[in-house]
Structure 1
Amino acid sequence: MKDPTAVQRRIIEAADPETGRLSGTEAQLAGLVRARLAFRHPRPPHAYFLTPAGHRIRDGGADAVPRAAPAPDPAPAAAPASGVFAARTGAEPGPGVEGPSRAREVRTAWEGLVELRRMTNTDGARDRPCGWERTHLVQAAALALEAAGLPPAWPGRDGYLVADTPQPEAVAVRAPSPDGLRACAAALERAGWQVGEHAAPRGGGRYLLASPRRV
């Protein structure tokens, strides 16, 4: 496959750093789609996002030439029409925007991620995490929990908290009660994650260790 043109590289490098959302003319973006460096989201507003190959170009420089077949490498999460979307991990200082608008954003982001799974998993599986989720573990797990309707924690409210761990491809999920922890485990398992419950050292309570399922 040919290297991207100078114009295409500029568009790729200017992509949103979190979501991979692209800006450009319709012809320019369509050219990136033909080159397998971008895809058009199936839902309105039909925005364009980097594919795994496009992310390799942006992150890896000139040597990151896209291959003929997509691979489960880092890929963008969906963004709502209003701008950049970030799933809530529970570590935020406050609730931010709530209500129907937030619910719509979460639903759109989750549907976009499921579509991304279909496009980037080699077998087209929608029930198994994709490459983007494996490189954005905390955000991916948080999106699965928020999309399931579970409340994130912040000062003054009980809810889930998702955090990094030293273990490769694993996040820790905490909740204020056994029922909350079970609800988190069920939501993650439905979203294609492997989940185990563990006891924290020195009486620190119980928590979940969750990893994206591979098969």
Structure 2
Amino acid sequence: MNRPLTAAQRRLVDAADPVTGRLKGTGAQLAALVTRGLAFRHPRPPHAHFLTPQGHRIREAGAEPEPEPEPVKAEAPAATGVFTARVGGEGVAHQPGPARRREVHSAWQGMLELRRMTNPDGATDRPCGWERSHLVQAAALALEAAGHPPAGQDAEVGYRVRETPQPEAVAVYEADGEVLRACAASLEGAGWQVGQYTEPRTRARYLLASPRRV
């Protein structure tokens, strides 16, 4: 994509579902995003439109829109309601409240719908393309949705999900060995391949998790 988004296209991208990337707009607006490689039309009914990985990157980058030729009425920015998976260490309490539990449940249901809509066979028991391009966030969402609390800042209790040098793999740390095994079971149930390892220098135990393909 060479040209920046117009203000109208920017609003459309920003309003996409933060988890599934589902878009709402007129046929012409959605077709314009498809032409620019930022959206795709799902082949199965109801033929909804979703952001492509490039569209997600544009949305997350928050690039400035291209000015439109006609003036646009100024509006107060609406709350986006963007959901952010907690990977551990953010400084929040490790025991979520009711509001957070509702958010996590809704986000996980949205992820299952995204799997159904974007996996070629409509399977919901294994990760989809979005999860493969957002490994840390996807694994953290699966853990939090299963009821595991993330670690607070400087806290020993709770999981921490981190990137690794290995392609399509994240590391999950949890000081409690029994809880670590429970995290492994939850990830496996969410469609991830999981192995447990020990760091040679620190002797810390951790999980290495990758999205299952079949």
| TM norm structure 2 | 0.70
Task: Tell me, in whole angstroms, the C-alpha distance in 2 between the residues paired with 1:32 and 1:157.
Answer: 46
Q: Is the 8 A contact 2:184 2:207 kept in 1?
A: yes
User: Are the structure 2 counterparts of residues 187 and 90 from structure 1 closer, same or farther at C-alpha, using a change threshold of 3 Å?
Assistant: same
Q: Which residue matches 2:91?
A: 93
Q: Is the 8 A contact 1:8 1:28 kept in 2?
A: no
User: Are the structure 2 counterparts of residues 150 and 132 from structure 1 closer, same or farther at C-alpha, using a change threshold of 3 Å?
Assistant: same
* Secondary structure at 2:81 match in 1: coil
Alignment length, in residue pairs? Answer: 181
Q: Which residue matches 1:51?
A: 51
User: Are the structure 2 counterparts of residues 206 and 49 from structure 1 closer, same or farther at C-alpha, using a change threshold of 3 Å?
Assistant: farther
Task: Tell me, in whole angstroms, the C-alpha distance in 2 between the residues paired with 1:116 and 1:38.
Answer: 13
Q: Which residue matches 2:150?
A: 152
User: Are the structure 2 counterparts of residues 29 and 184 from structure 1 closer, same or farther at C-alpha, using a change threshold of 3 Å?
Assistant: farther
| TM norm structure 1 | 0.70
Q: Is the 8 A contact 2:104 2:144 kept in 1?
A: yes
2:131 to 109, 130, 133: 133
Task: Tell me, in whole angstroms, the C-alpha distance in 2 between the residues paired with 1:109 and 1:28.
Answer: 25
Paired letter, 2:175: P
User: Are the structure 2 counterparts of residues 8 and 53 from structure 1 closer, same or farther at C-alpha, using a change threshold of 3 Å?
Assistant: farther
User: Are the structure 2 counterparts of residues 204 and 195 from structure 1 closer, same or farther at C-alpha, using a change threshold of 3 Å?
Assistant: same
Q: Which residue matches 1:112?
A: 110
Q: Structure 2: where are the runs of 5+ without partners?
A: 42-47, 60-78
* 1:54 shift after superposition: 7.4
Q: Which residue matches 1:72?
A: none
> After the TM superposition, which parts of structure 1 deviate over 6 Å for at least 4 consecutive aligned residues?
5-8, 33-36
Q: Is the 8 A contact 1:117 1:130 kept in 2?
A: yes
Q: How big is the alpha-carbon RMSD for the aligned residues of Structure 1 and Structure 2?
A: 3.7
Q: Which residue matches 1:83?
A: 81
Paired letter, 1:161: R
Q: Structure 1: where are the runs of 5+ without partners?
A: 40-47, 60-80
Task: Tell me, in whole angstroms, the C-alpha distance in 1 between the residues paired with 2:12 and 2:54.
Answer: 7
Q: Is the 8 A contact 1:165 1:172 kept in 2?
A: yes
Query: Which one is further off, 112-121 or 87-96?
Result: 87-96
Q: Is the 8 A contact 2:21 2:51 kept in 1?
A: no
